[in-house]
Amino acid sequence: MINSRIEQIFNQIADLMEILGQDSFVVNHYRKTARTIHRIDADIEQLAMFGQLKDLNGLGKASIEKIFEFIDTGKIQKHQDLIAEIPFGILDLLKVRGLGPKSIKLIYEKLNVYNLMGLKNAIADGTLMRLPGFGKTKAQNLAKGIKFIVATQGQLVISKAIEMSNYIADHLESQTTIEKIIPAGQIRQGCDSIDTVSIVTLANQQDFPKIIQAFITCPGTREIISQSPADVEITFANENISSKIIKAQLHLATADNLANIELINSSTPEHINQLRQLAKQNNIDLDQNAQTQQQIYQRLNLPYIEPSLRQGGNEIELAQKGKLPKVVQLADIKGDLHIHSPASDGRTPIEQLVETAIERNYQYIAITDHSHSSTIANGLSAERLLGNIEIVRKLNQKYPEIAILAGTEVDIHIDGRLDYPDEILAQLDFVVASVHMTLDCKPSQANKHLLKAMENPYVNCIGHPTTRIIHARPPLPLDIDRIIKQAAETGTALEINSNPFRLDLKASHGRLAVEAGAMLAINTDAHSKANLHLMKFGILTAQRAHATSANIINCQPLETLKKFVQAKRDRMI
């Protein structure tokens, strides 16, 4: 779906026009159009094909033309023209947290600051603070923002990395004869942040030069970092997937050495080093060709270790002791406990969400719309929530094959108070509680409100506990051990949010939770039926956390889930 890219371009047109001081009503219009596109549940390309774009309120002739222009050419000329009109570094400034178009216009015009380096200097020499609206605190926050961006340069979230990988794979397939293309590396390991896209191909040796040629001439290739007869590394970018430049590797295998090449390129170097040491101790040649990866582990007297576990930690030691966890699989998931409907900011009608869940063989789902403090997400008042509970109860009669649970994603206020009174929460089947506001707070405060929320007998799960957005927003400064302890003691699940931009809890925190005996929930936080399929990313994170299905509340049958909810109420009321 190209929806999100078009939405992004319209927003960027608005930002750039604002920086250039153009008509604010037109600027506003582009933002409004971006929001309209955001709310579309269908593939915008399909709508365009069937002439249905004009039916959307707010999309006029000029916007529709631009959408068609993008479908035809992959870009929008007005957007290109605006980018050409300003220094390129301005686009980086737009990514700095706490810095918007108005401020950028000001620092560009008054200080001639047009990139991250310029801003950094203006902060350091104090000139920034002489501008109206810029104090010491703001300067410090901006400095932090710059640091964060620099630290995450050249890194993609896994879904974007997969798009890059698929793009390159499609190109290779169209240009050459390849038997098999296998995404490897950090994607295969399920990392949440990826700096190198790694592809393994199976082909005949005589086709290698042609495949390498196709790889290094793939549209988007920037530079060749290294090249040998069977391995190439390049830098690569594709503006329509991400504005970032990343590394991409190609590893060519024949049928003889495929398993070995796959293994080496789907593990951390630390894991491979540990395997090499073990091989050396036992006088085994790790690089001797094998039929399968299983066979390589077998030679070392080890059970098969999945790529998601090959992190270079203690997985080999666990494997030797026969204590390798039987990590959770997608098929173990019995339901999704964090889903938004159009009652708040979801895009897919409840019935279609239910039908998609049935297609996924789920036994239950929870409809968890925002509470009223999330005004921008059209959060539900207590009255509207009660109405929605009724709707959900009735829907259960229509769909006897699945249990539709009435829930909420209730906001946690800065003092730990929840957005609904207990009498309302008591009527729900499942309650997710999440922080959405006051994200820049002190460590003591961040901990306190989560700890207090977990004390509430009706709160069953903490949604996206650290609130991080990968590469865009740092996590809350939590004492994660204390949070996990509280979760275990109160019978509250901690969410692994499957959205690839969140993956929150992250794997290392998830592993701490598993070790402490806290329950996890792998949810999608879906805002559309398509989002229900993000579950696979949460699964990868849970695998990296060494979680088994026993650690995951939504891998349990409905009766166990109900007992989990009831047990907390019995204990704490």
* 370 is a contact residue toward DNA (CB under 7 A): yes
* 23 is a contact residue toward DNA (CB under 7 A): yes
Q: Which is nearer to DNA, 264 or 339 (CB)?
A: 339
How many alpha carbons fall within 13 Å on the CB side of residue 462?
A: 30
Q: Which is nearer to DNA, 57 or 228 (CB)?
A: 57
Bridge partners (DSSP) of residue 366 are 405
Binding to DNA in span 178-237, by CB under 7 A = none
Nearest to 162 by CA among 191, 134, 141, 140: 191
Q: Which stretch binds DNA (CB under 7 A): 20-28, 318-326, 503-511, 530-538?
A: 20-28
Q: Which of 377, 459, 461, 478 binds DNA (CB under 7 A)?
A: 377
Bridge partners (DSSP) of residue 432 are 409, 461
CB of 505 to DNA, least distance (A): 15
The continuous run of DSSP H or E covering 27 comes out as: helix 24-38
DSSP 383-425: HHHHHHHHHHHHHHHH-TTSEEEEEEEEEBPTTS-BSS-HHHH
* 120 is a contact residue toward DNA (CB under 7 A): no
* 376 is a contact residue toward DNA (CB under 7 A): yes
DSSP 271-306: HHHHHHHHHHHTT--TTS--SSHHHHHHHTT-----
Nearest 5°: CA angle at 366, between 377 and 518?
A: 100
CB of 228 to DNA, least distance (A): 44
Q: Which of 16, 76, 104, 178 binds DNA (CB under 7 A)?
A: 104
Residue 446 makes CB contacts below 8 A (sequence gap 6+) with 476, 477, 478
Q: Which of 2, 8, 20, 31 binds DNA (CB under 7 A)?
A: 31
* 62 is a contact residue toward DNA (CB under 7 A): yes
* 500 is a contact residue toward DNA (CB under 7 A): no
Binding to DNA in span 66-85, by CB under 7 A = 78
CB of 62 to DNA, least distance (A): 3
Q: Could you give the CA distance from residue 554 to residue 334 in angstroms, rounded to a whole number?
A: 6
Binding to DNA in span 510-529, by CB under 7 A = 527
Bridge partners (DSSP) of residue 411 are 434
* Helix, strand, or coil (residue 246): strand
Binding to DNA in span 312-341, by CB under 7 A = 340
* Size of interface with DNA, in residues (CB under 7 A): 56
* 55 is a contact residue toward DNA (CB under 7 A): no
Binding to DNA in span 437-476, by CB under 7 A = 437-441, 467, 469, 473
Q: Which of 29, 247, 347, 529 binds DNA (CB under 7 A)?
A: 29
Binding to DNA in span 384-443, by CB under 7 A = 414, 436-441
Q: Which of 5, 79, 97, 247 binds DNA (CB under 7 A)?
A: 97
* 147 is a contact residue toward DNA (CB under 7 A): no
Which residue do the tokens 């506003």 mark?
28
Q: Which is nearer to DNA, 111 or 441 (CB)?
A: 441
First vs last C-alpha separation in the chain: 47
The DSSP letter of residue 267 is: S
Q: Which of 2, 8, 20, 32 binds DNA (CB under 7 A)?
A: 32
CB of 439 to DNA, least distance (A): 5
Structure tokens at 524: 């999608």
Q: Which of 72, 73, 84, 132 binds DNA (CB under 7 A)?
A: 132
Q: Could you give the CA distance from residue 169 to residue 175 in angstroms, rounded to a whole number?
A: 10
Contact 433, 371 (CB under 8 A): no
Q: Could you give the CA distance from residue 152 to residue 150 in angstroms, rounded to a whole number?
A: 5
Nearest to 338 by CA among 511, 557, 535: 535
Q: Which is nearer to DNA, 339 or 565 (CB)?
A: 339
Q: Could you give the CA distance from residue 112 to residue 122 in angstroms, rounded to a whole number?
A: 10
The DSSP letter of residue 56 is: S
Q: Which of 1, 4, 21, 35 binds DNA (CB under 7 A)?
A: 35
Nearest to 353 by CA among 526, 523, 499: 526
Q: Which stretch binds DNA (CB under 7 A): 132-140, 163-171, 187-195, 211-219?
A: 132-140
* 136 is a contact residue toward DNA (CB under 7 A): yes
Q: Which stretch binds DNA (CB under 7 A): 109-117, 186-194, 223-231, 370-378?
A: 370-378
Integer angstrom CA distances of residue 262 from 140, 329, 524: 45, 21, 30
CB of 412 to DNA, least distance (A): 12
Amino acid code (one letter) for 188: R
Q: Which is nearer to DNA, 63 or 198 (CB)?
A: 63
The burial of 306, by beta-carbon neighbours within 10 Å (0-12 exposed, 13-18 middle, 19 or more buried), is given as: middle
Q: Which is nearer to DNA, 135 or 421 (CB)?
A: 135
Q: Which stretch binds DNA (CB under 7 A): 101-109, 272-280, 383-391, 542-550?
A: 101-109
Structure tokens at 373: 């403090």
Q: Which of 85, 102, 426, 517 binds DNA (CB under 7 A)?
A: 102
Q: Where on the chain is the footprint of DNA (CB under 7 A)?
A: 23-26, 28-33, 35, 57-64, 78, 97-104, 129, 132-138, 141, 340, 345, 370, 373-377, 414, 436-441, 467, 469, 473, 527
